[in-house]
Amino acid sequence: MDILFKERKLEKQCNQHQMLVRAQGERRAQLIHIRLEALKWATCLEDLRNIAGRLHELKGDRKRQLSLDLDHPYRLIFIPDHNPVPVTEDGGLDWKRVTAIRILGIEDTHE
């Protein structure tokens, strides 16, 4: 899967372990690395449906965003990086055709 980042600073942080540890702490940095590796090796989102990390679509004003759990309450937030976003006949996200994502951030979506 192709992985892009919303901001250059976030990309740099996620690709340099020490920067990630300084910004997020050791445990969260490890989880981010594990989640990014899983995303990198997948061919599409469907490949990740049943992995650890509870990949799921968000709702409401975050529709079309997806999240992977990190350490509670933090999540890795991303969107499909397709134009247009692939959808199924019923209008839902077509996980089998999402082959590129854009990481938006690491955040607590429960606020």
CATH class of 2-108: alpha beta
**DSSP count for the chain of H helices, then E strands:** 3, 5
- pTM of model > 0.85: yes
Percent of the chain with pLDDT over 90: 84
Structural domain boundaries in the chain:
2-108
pLDDT bin (cut points 50, 70, 90) of residue 53 is confident
Q: What is the pLDDT of residue 49?
A: 87
* Helical H segments across the chain, by residue range: 8-15, 17-24, 26-41
Average pLDDT along the chain: 93
Task: Tell me the residue type at 39.
Answer: L
Q: What is the pLDDT of residue 80?
A: 97
Q: What is the pLDDT of residue 111?
A: 58
